[in-house]
Amino acid sequence: MSTWTERPELAAYLARQRWFAGAQQTTVTQVQPLAWLSDPLSNPGVRFEIVSVLCGAEPGVYNVPLSYRTEPREDLSYGFVGATILEYRTFYVYDALHDPEARAVLLSGFVEGAEPPAGIRFGRLPGFALEAGVDNVLLGAEQSNTSVIAGDALVKFFRRLSPGVNPDVEVQEALTLAGSDEISPLLGWIRGGDFDLAMVGLFQRSATDGWDTARASVRALRDDAVRAREAGGDFAGEAERLGAATLAVHTRMRELLPTAVWGPAEIDALVARLNGRLDAVVAAHPVVAEHAAGARAAYDRIDRSLPVAVQRIHGDFHLGQTLRTSAGWKIIDFEGEPSRPLEERIGLDSPLRDLAGMLRSFDYVAHSIPALTGVISLDPSVDEAALADDWVRRNQIAFLLGYGFDRSDAAMAMLRAYEIDKAVYEVAYEVDHRPDWMGIPLRALKALVAAAEGR
Amino acid sequence: MAVTEGLDRSDADWFKSAVFYEVLVRSFRDSSGDGVGDLKGLTEKLDYLEWLGIDCVWLPPFFPSPLKDGGYDVADYTAVAPDIGTIEDFQEFLDAAHARGIRVIIDVVMNHTSDQHPWFQASRSDPDGPYGDFYVWSDTDERYADARIIFVDTETSNWTWDPVRQQYFWHRFYSHQPDLNFENPAVHEAMLSALDFWLERGVDGFRLDAVPYLYEEEGTSSENLARTHQFLKKVRAHVDSAYPGRVLLAEANQWPADVVDYFGDPAVGGDECHMCFHFPVMPRIFMSVRRESRYPISEILAQTPTVPEHCQWGIFLRNHDELTLEMVTDEDRDYMWNEYATDPRMKANIGIRRRLAPLLDNDTNQMELFTALLLSLPGSPVLYYGDEIGMGDNIWLGDRDGVRTPMQWTPDRNAGFSAATPGRLSLPVIMDPVFGFQAINVEAQQASSSSLLQWTRRMIYVRKQHTAFGRGSFLDLGGSNPSVLSYLREDGDDLMLCVNNLSRFPQPVELDLHQFSGRRPVENLDRVEFPSIGELPYLLTLAGYGFYWFRILDAGSARGASE
């Protein structure tokens, strides 16, 4: 059926895309086209194609909707994949997401009364339908998805696929149906074969992500050179409301999705996992070694005698996963840490892991600006790092206050352990990708280990 | 009879696109040299208001009054306080304003009178006489216990014992301001005939002071009651039938969702007040700039209901009162509390009586940004006299007098306000080196093309060229930068894009404008064409506190035929 396995064009196209993970020599091993969404001679003929690849030895599965045209189109050349022959006819094939007419076909299954072909399901949550012929526009490039705005809907086409239900769709559907105000509601999804191919959410036109919102505050702080509480750009009110939104989402997830309680054996296993990750990082990154003993001691302080309530959590919680809208904070992207395997991403864990992620994010955002710009104060007596630390402390406390965090010894020990685990991971990431930023998590790791020891 | 030929009486919705200007007669211009501003002086200065582009002047109370509450304690609804003029002076002023196309609205305090009002004097001394039932009297001070006390700093109860009548009287404000009894039909008649007195002379409308409190009911907060709304409908019907084209502007310092009730029934386009002040938007503007975040403004506008078709909000930056946080919902108070309480600087600025310029550290960029917001957000802008030249205040004067000092016209004696001996002025002119009249005055700013006054005038003129500002829809565009507030105002073909940098730093912003793909924004102060809009996010950069007003041209009209 498909010629892409014998010919280089599709592999070459994939290798040029930002959402494609492989950096090495890529070969397309299998292409499984789904049913036509429009007749191949209707210009464009459109269908989803599930593309299996090998990058070096690494296998991957990608969602590549293609549009087939009988004449070449100059204006679509950015998304041109190659020419191919189907049923004795030549077709010019384009990435359907870069072809406006093809995008309309991809979305047409969400119109009221549409009858998509067998094997492809367009799920619509109550109240959602697209108007026929609604204007659509492609959003800029993203790491792992391609997003399209159609009316008030944001349609996110997953590019890298895992079999089964995408955790983002699963969690957001449950939260949306329960009426959660603290997420951006799910409107629908596209499922084909064994895969979730796309999800539809409300397009939050008025939103800015939490990372940019917090950076505006840090910028104002640096200019004022005062304690965070006195700064015009104080963020503590926002941090507190974000804490409250996080609690509301965690509570809903606990009510709607699986939960469990960890006893001594599971807690031992957790500590073993934390130590295992630490060992792996220390082996590859000697810069962490001097803090390893302190980190292990902090992990050991987790109290095995007290049961730990675990549940589905966000799993990759940081300021970039939040949106500040005119109707308050919204938490987004429940797919977990994308680099981890699916079973780990949907595994149960303590919600304190999410809190630790956000506490680390406050530290990151405050210190990222000096990391980018260097010291700017004209007054040598101003200690910018100390002012940033003060901002971090104030907003971490406000966030935990908004969450209603219980500051018992057991909870604090667990939170510290998760923070240290996160900081260790961050050091490894920065050493590999952004050595200039390594100082941020390293400095935090040192302080966290010291705090855990009560120093 | 009243001169009205300068006015277009056919446009009943004139107030939707009007620029209002609040002026205190006693502080604007003293024509007689007795140290107190007067109506003749105000008439002298109408040329200035016309030059500035003002459409409607709002006069706070100028009636006879013991002046214990800035004239809001009225002792006679149908006369002029003798120190500022006569009824004839008022008529002359009104006719001269109309001849210039300027309308005039005046304050009416419906809820209460001064205790010096003859009605109250008659009511307390002759309980069985014609005015005996004009006020709310009671043998006990325990009725309506659920009504809160508004002026908690000075009052301990809403009831005060009257030793003359040997009964308690009801007052929602000061104890020298007894509430009128709207249960009594004679009070309705008296109030309507007071309105008629001024409407007959040609007044273009009323600002209705303290409207939520007209009626009391046991077991309620005695605010926003159904019968209060019924009475306002009665006033509106009366004004509409006898004097069409006049406007009622309500002061209801309540949450917008409650205030919209004062517009009346949306199905008929509104049948109570034509306009209501939007109170929360003002502190939110200050907060947004302090926080460098658009959300305080975006949130309050998202929570503001649509007004009926023939209605409009009134918005302002400063007025003769202090900026108040008292009458908002608990939820909003929590929000404001979170943001204000921990910020001593913001608390101090918002809680006390200051003018715009000193509040903004006399920073021209911020004053221009604030004025640009005032002139482009939904609602009709109400300017406060003196803010157009960046006047200062005098915090050493008592009560609210610090923001009521004489208008600064010239660098001459008494700022050109009065020929009196300086010691005779009812309030001293500002004399400090930064805001004093030698530095800040109309004459100097009229002579300088780069002054705040000339800038403000130009902005008012640009605003008036676009119906989108007064009558158009509002859409918050959001965007990638939390410090940049961007919105569309649209009325038919008139499409304006306003982009405001709330931060002191330069900022970029990317806006999703793809629905206007192929059209071209033209910066509307200097008519500079910007690049055409495409499918991709539209990138703009702004200087610190910078802003743009763009007109989005129709496709194809960006260039003239000869180009």
Confidence of residue B557 (pLDDT cuts 50, 70, 90): low
Q: What pLDDT, on a 0 to 100 scale, did the predictor assign at position B343?
A: 56
Q: What pLDDT, on a 0 to 100 scale, did the predictor assign at position B339?
A: 60
Contact between B482 and A213 using a beta-carbon 8 Å cutoff = yes
Q: Are A162 and A342 in contact (CB under 8 A)?
A: yes
Confidence of residue B558 (pLDDT cuts 50, 70, 90): very low
What does A227-276 look like in DSSP terms, one character per residue? -GGGSTT--HHHHHHHHHHHHHHHHHHHHHS-EEEE-HHHHHHHHHHHHH
Q: What pLDDT, on a 0 to 100 scale, did the predictor assign at position A2?
A: 58
Integer Cα distance of B459 and B548 in angstroms? 12
Cα→Cα distances A397→A392, A408, B552, Å:
8, 15, 46
A373 and chain B in contact, CB less than 8 A:
no
Does residue A305 surpass a pLDDT of 50?
yes
Q: Which of B337-341, B355-359, B542-546 has the lowest mean pLDDT?
A: B337-341
Q: What pLDDT, on a 0 to 100 scale, did the predictor assign at position A133?
A: 84
- CA torsion through residues A174, A177, A183, A185, sign: positive
| Mean pLDDT within B375-389 | 97
Does residue A33 surpass a pLDDT of 50?
yes
Share of chain B above pLDDT 90, in %: 75
Q: Which of A100-109, B102-111, B341-350, B498-507 has the lowest mean pLDDT?
A: B341-350
| Mean pLDDT within A22-43 | 88
Most distant pair of Cα atoms in chain B: their distance: 85
Range B68-78 burial, b when 16+ CB lie within 10 A, else e: ebbbbbbbbbe
- Amino acid (1-letter code) at residue B164: V
Q: Are B277 and B313 in contact (CB under 8 A)?
A: yes
CA distance A232 to chain B (A): 5
Q: Which of A49-53, A97-101, B163-167, B321-325 has the lowest mean pLDDT?
A: B321-325
φ, ψ of residue B515 to 5 degrees: the values are -65, -15
- Three-state DSSP class for residue B86: coil
Q: What pLDDT, on a 0 to 100 scale, did the predictor assign at position B345?
A: 57
- Residues in chain A closer than 8 A to B479 (CB atoms): 208
At a CB cut-off of 8 Å and minimum separation 6, what does B51 contact? B457
- Whether the ω angle into residue A44 lies within 30 degrees of 0, i.e. cis, is yes
| Mean pLDDT within B277-297 | 88
What is the tens place of the pLDDT at every residue in B211-258? 999 999 999 999 999 999 999 999 999 999 999 999 999 988 778 888
HSE of A138 in the Cβ direction (CA atoms, 13 Å)? 18
Confidence of residue A337 (pLDDT cuts 50, 70, 90): confident
Confidence of residue A19 (pLDDT cuts 50, 70, 90): confident
- Three-state DSSP class for residue B233: helix
Q: What pLDDT, on a 0 to 100 scale, did the predictor assign at position B332?
A: 56
Query: Residue B244 gets which letter from DSSP?
Result: T
Q: Are strands B520-523 and B528-529 parallel, antiparallel or unpaired?
A: antiparallel
- CA torsion through residues A233, A239, A244, A246, sign: positive
Most distant pair of Cα atoms in chain A: their distance: 78
- Residues in chain B closer than 8 A to A151 (CB atoms): none
Its pTM stands at: 0.86
Confidence of residue B198 (pLDDT cuts 50, 70, 90): very high
Cα→Cα distances A247→A182, A184, A361, A406, Å:
10, 16, 17, 12
- Residues in chain A closer than 8 A to B291 (CB atoms): 217, 232-234
Confidence of residue A277 (pLDDT cuts 50, 70, 90): very high
Q: What pLDDT, on a 0 to 100 scale, did the predictor assign at position A52?
A: 93
Q: What pLDDT, on a 0 to 100 scale, did the predictor assign at position B338?
A: 57
| Mean pLDDT within A346-356 | 96
Contact between A205 and B295 using a beta-carbon 8 Å cutoff = no
Q: Is A33 exposed, middle or buried (0-12, 13-18, 19+ CB in 10 A)?
A: middle
What is the tens place of the pLDDT at every residue in B162-184? 999 999 999 999 999 999 999 99
Across the interface, of B295, B344, B481, the residue whose CB is closest to A326 is B295
Does residue A455 surpass a pLDDT of 60?
no
Share of chain A above pLDDT 70, in %: 96
The ipTM value here is 0.79
- Residues in chain A closer than 8 A to B483 (CB atoms): 216
Integer Cα distance of B282 and B305 in angstroms? 17
Q: What is the mean pLDDT of chain B?
A: 90
Q: Can you name the residues that pair with B169 across neighbouring β-strands?
A: B137, B160
The 10 Å Cβ neighbour count of residue B142 is: 10
Query: Higher confidence at residue B512 or residue A261?
Result: A261
Integer Cα distance of A432 and A288 in angstroms? 13
Does residue B350 surpass a pLDDT of 60?
no
Q: Are strands B247-250 and B205-209 parallel, antiparallel or unpaired?
A: parallel
| Mean pLDDT within B118-138 | 96
At a CB cut-off of 8 Å and minimum separation 6, what does B437 contact? B408, B410, B411, B415, B416, B429, B430, B431
Confidence of residue B490 (pLDDT cuts 50, 70, 90): very high
- Three-state DSSP class for residue B562: coil
Query: Residue B19 gets which letter from DSSP?
Result: P
What does A111-152 look like in DSSP terms, one character per residue? BTT--PPTTEEEEE-TT--BPTT--EEEPPP-SSEEEEEETT
First CA to last CA across chain B, in angstroms?
Answer: 55
- Residues in chain A closer than 8 A to B503 (CB atoms): 216, 219-220
Across the interface, of A205, A212, A223, the residue whose CB is closest to B512 is A205
Secondary structure element (H or E) that encloses residue B442, with its range: helix B442-447
Confidence of residue B348 (pLDDT cuts 50, 70, 90): low
| Mean pLDDT within A292-320 | 95
CA A423-A284-A440 angle, to 5 degrees, is 30
Q: In what order do the strands lie in the sheet with A328-331?
A: A208-209, A322-325, A328-331
Does residue A48 surpass a pLDDT of 70?
yes
Does residue B562 surpass a pLDDT of 80?
no
Q: Which of A402-406, B16-20, B74-78, B344-348 has the lowest mean pLDDT?
A: B344-348
Q: What pLDDT, on a 0 to 100 scale, did the predictor assign at position B327?
A: 44
Q: Which domains does chain B have, with CATH numbers?
A: 473-553 (2.60.40.1180)
Q: Can you name the residues that pair with B179 across neighbouring β-strands?
A: B112
Q: What pLDDT, on a 0 to 100 scale, did the predictor assign at position A375?
A: 63
At a CB cut-off of 8 Å and minimum separation 6, what does B217 contact? B144, B225, B227
Contact between B478 and A135 using a beta-carbon 8 Å cutoff = no
| Mean pLDDT within A347-366 | 96
- Amino acid (1-letter code) at residue B14: W
Q: What totals of helices (H) and strands (E) does chain A contain, helices first?
A: 12, 18
| Mean pLDDT within B194-215 | 95
What is the tens place of the pLDDT at every residue in A166-221? 999 999 999 999 999 999 999 999 999 889 999 999 998 778 899 999 998 988 88
Q: Are A220 and A233 in contact (CB under 8 A)?
A: yes
Q: What totals of helices (H) and strands (E) does chain B contain, helices first?
A: 16, 19
Q: What distance lies between CA B23 and its chain's CA centroid?
A: 11
Contact between A327 and B480 using a beta-carbon 8 Å cutoff = no
B426 and chain A in contact, CB less than 8 A:
no
Integer Cα distance of A106 and A97 in angstroms? 9
Q: Which of A301-310, B37-46, B282-291 has the lowest mean pLDDT?
A: B282-291
- CA torsion through residues A73, A78, A82, A84, sign: negative
CA distance A213 to chain B (A): 6
Q: Are A228 and A397 in contact (CB under 8 A)?
A: no
User: Shortest CA distance to B178 belongs to which of B186, B236, B187?
Assistant: B187
CA distance A220 to chain B (A): 8
Q: Are strands B103-109 and B159-162 parallel, antiparallel or unpaired?
A: unpaired
User: How many residues belong to chain B?
Assistant: 563
Q: What pLDDT, on a 0 to 100 scale, did the predictor assign at position B563?
A: 40
Q: What pLDDT, on a 0 to 100 scale, did the predictor assign at position A1?
A: 45
Across the interface, of A135, A212, A237, the residue whose CB is closest to B482 is A212
| Interface mutation vs chain B, best among A147, A206, A209, A221, most B CBs within 10 Å | A206
Query: Higher confidence at residue B312 or residue B8?
Result: B312
Q: What pLDDT, on a 0 to 100 scale, did the predictor assign at position B1?
A: 46
Q: Which domains does chain A have, with CATH numbers?
A: 9-100 (no CATH), 102-107+118-202 (3.30.200), 208-452 (3.90.1200.10)
Q: Are B81 and B114 in contact (CB under 8 A)?
A: no
Q: What pLDDT, on a 0 to 100 scale, did the predictor assign at position B247?
A: 97
Q: What pLDDT, on a 0 to 100 scale, did the predictor assign at position A214?
A: 94
| Mean pLDDT within A379-390 | 82
What is the tens place of the pLDDT at every residue in A73-131? 998 988 999 999 888 899 999 999 999 999 999 999 999 999 999 899 999 999 999 99
Cα→Cα distances A424→A304, A385, A420, B300, B472, Å:
23, 21, 6, 42, 54
Q: What is the mean pLDDT of chain A?
A: 90
Q: What pLDDT, on a 0 to 100 scale, did the predictor assign at position B536?
A: 81
Confidence of residue B351 (pLDDT cuts 50, 70, 90): low
